[in-house]
């Protein structure tokens, strides 16, 4: 089944209309000083509810000393395999908004970084799901903070995925709507932040890559009705966080957009996938999804 999925992916169109991205040149591979990147977010960056959470934690710097590896560690592994030199740090706290990081962890963030990735709360606002008001304010505050230290910093906003529990369970903010809808709304908020805030390079379309995986038949779009044979479940057991497959796809999108390198260069024998129990066929299919989504939005390059 995976082979059929891969063959059909090239014909897919984007599942949502992409926002115009600002062109950002990928840095050349270097053996000199590493390029610094900071991930700011919550459990969706930590890799919570999956083996990704503490995976290769020693390869990254957790500024809070919590010992997380998470998506930053996956990103680090991808850069090593691509011959890139990145010093990767993370500042995360489960269940918190970007506003929390600005108000409570600003001293850790307030440094000169080359790249910063900002990941907001899964529903944007914990008290008013879908309301982007505070997100727009806090993304702007954090972007200004890091830009003051390094005017050339590239700040990216991560648009995350649809929560199945918010879509399929009564009482969810997106109950009864298509499984793609929540990710579309989150992306719209991120696009709005890019359009109205100076100093933000663009959006990391993680939720759109998930939607593409659903459309391709690679991923099961409804974890509550039983997983179809040959499909992967991008969600964890709580139908909220991501599984190893979901975080792997998240990291592929971040890697491809931040570095400008095509995720397909990692190949079927990619090491992180093997260690996490993701098969060669599944790794290749997830890389293809990331490639297709990124290529639909802005140029990427092979290496």
Task: Assess contact for 270 and 252: CB atoms under 8 A.
Answer: no
Range of weakest confidence among 155-159, 207-211, 298-302? 298-302
Model confidence at 11: pLDDT above 50? no
Q: Within 13 Å, how many C-alpha atoms sit on residue 61's CB side?
A: 10
Structure confidence at residue 30 (pLDDT): 52
Structure confidence at residue 31 (pLDDT): 58
Task: Assess contact for 261 and 26: CB atoms under 8 A.
Answer: yes
From CA 70, how far away is CA 91, in angstroms rounded? 11
**Per-residue pLDDT tens digits for 73-86:** 999 999 999 999 99
Structure confidence at residue 180 (pLDDT): 98
Model confidence at 199: pLDDT above 60? yes
Alpha-carbon radius of gyration of the chain: 18
Task: Assess contact for 255 and 72: CB atoms under 8 A.
Answer: no
Structure confidence at residue 160 (pLDDT): 99
- Percent of the chain topping pLDDT 70: 89
Structure confidence at residue 302 (pLDDT): 67
Strand order in the sheet with 115-119: 61-62, 86-92, 35-41, 115-119, 154-159, 202-205
Q: Stretch 36-52: mean pLDDT, rounded? A: 98
Structure confidence at residue 25 (pLDDT): 37
Structure confidence at residue 10 (pLDDT): 36
Tell me the average pLDDT of the chain.
91
Model confidence at 54: pLDDT above 90? yes
Question: What pTM value is reported for the model?
Answer: 0.91
Range of weakest confidence among 24-28, 42-46, 53-57, 142-146? 24-28
Task: Assess contact for 45 and 70: CB atoms under 8 A.
Answer: yes
Structure confidence at residue 303 (pLDDT): 58
- Percent of the chain topping pLDDT 90: 86
**Confidence band (pLDDT; 50, 70, 90) for 4?**
very low
Task: Assess contact for 116 and 156: CB atoms under 8 A.
Answer: yes
Q: Could you tell me which residue, 301 or 158, shows the higher pLDDT? A: 158
Q: For residue 89, list its beta bridge partners.
A: 38, 61
Q: Stretch 9-33: mean pLDDT, rounded? A: 43
List of domains in the chain: 32-297 (3.40.50.1110)
Q: Stretch 190-199: mean pLDDT, rounded? A: 96
47 φ/ψ sector (left φ>0, alpha ψ -120 to 50, else beta)? left
**Per-residue pLDDT tens digits for 164-186:** 999 999 999 999 999 999 999 99
In this structure, the number of other CB atoms found within 10 A of the CB of residue 99 comes to 18
Model confidence at 19: pLDDT above 70? no
Burial category of 192 from C-beta neighbours within 10 Å (exposed 0-12, middle 13-18, buried 19 and up): middle
């Amino acid at each position: 089944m995976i082979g059929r999925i891969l063959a059909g992916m090239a014909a897919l169109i984007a599942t949502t209309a992409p926002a115009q991205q600002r062109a950002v040149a990928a840095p050349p591979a270097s053996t000199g000083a590493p390029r610094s990147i900071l991930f700011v977010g919550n459990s969706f960056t930590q890799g919570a509810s999956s083996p990704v959470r503490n995976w290769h934690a020693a390869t990254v710097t957790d500024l809070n000393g919590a010992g997380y590896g998470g998506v930053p560690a996956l990103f680090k592994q991808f850069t090593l395999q691509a011959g890139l030199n990145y010093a990767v740090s993370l500042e995360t706290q489960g269940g918190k908004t970007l506003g929390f990081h600005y108000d409570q962890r600003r001293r850790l963030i307030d440094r000169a970084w080359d790249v910063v990735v900002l990941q907001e709360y899964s529903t944007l606002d914990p008290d008013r799901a879908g309301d982007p008001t505070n997100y727009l304010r806090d993304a702007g505050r954090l972007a200004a903070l890091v830009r003051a230290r390094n005017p050339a910093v590239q700040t990216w906003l991560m648009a995350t995925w649809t929560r199945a529990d918010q879509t399929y369970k009564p009482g969810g903010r997106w109950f009864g709507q298509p499984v793609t809808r929540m990710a579309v709304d989150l992306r719209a908020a991120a696009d709005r932040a890019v359009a109205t805030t100076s100093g933000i390079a663009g959006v990391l379309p993680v939720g759109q890559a998930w939607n593409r995986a659903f459309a391709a038949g690679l991923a099961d779009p409804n974890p509550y009705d039983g997983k179809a044979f040959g499909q992967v479940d991008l969600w964890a057991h709580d139908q909220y966080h991501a599984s190893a497959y979901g975080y792997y796809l998240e990291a592929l999108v971040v890697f491809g957009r931040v570095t400008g390198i095509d995720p397909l260069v990692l190949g079927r024998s990619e090491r992180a996938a093997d260690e996490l129990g993701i098969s060669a066929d599944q790794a290749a299919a997830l890389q293809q999804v990331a490639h297709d989504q990124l290529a639909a939005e802005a140029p990427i390059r092979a290496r």
